[in-house]
Amino acid sequence: MVRKYAIIILLVVMCFPTIGCYRTVYLDNGVGRELLITPQKAPASPVIRHFKEEVWNHYFLFALVPTSKPDFREIIQPNVPEGCMVTNLEIRHECTPLNAFIWFLVGGIYNPMTTTIEGDVVKAAH
């Protein structure tokens, strides 16, 4: 009987971190040049380069308290030279194995997640 209750309590404790909202707000202060972020077909320009940036988002108290607001300017602008634009932009917000390990170590007090932003840089059509 005690073992049965121990298993139930363990399952509840393991599921508790999933109740947070994990809301992430991205600031868009403009990157100083046009970024193609539409479902339209990308221009027929060849890809100059592909970029991939990862940033951590910080949450506290089982992700009920978000504390970070990633800024698109800081993340994307260094990857896009003047006269170029971004196509095939993909944003993923996930819990990586390292994030999960940290959750486990601190017991829900601090809950990081990783946002990955990647895309292709092409010459802007004039």
Greater model confidence, 65 or 114: 114
Report, in angstroms and rounded to the nearest whole number, the Rg of the chain calculated over CA atoms. Answer: 20
In the predicted model, is pLDDT for residue 117 greater than 80? yes
Does the model's pTM come out above 0.85?
Answer: no
Tokens of 6: 């121990």
- pLDDT score for 51: 92
What is the pLDDT at residue 29? 47
User: Would the pLDDT of 31 be above 60?
Assistant: no
pLDDT at 122 > cutoff 80? yes
Once rounded to an integer, what is the mean pLDDT over residues 107-120?
A: 86
- Confidence band (pLDDT; 50, 70, 90) for 32? very low
Per-residue model confidence (pLDDT) at position 23: 53
Residue 81 has pLDDT above 70, yes or no: yes
pLDDT over 90, % of the chain? 6
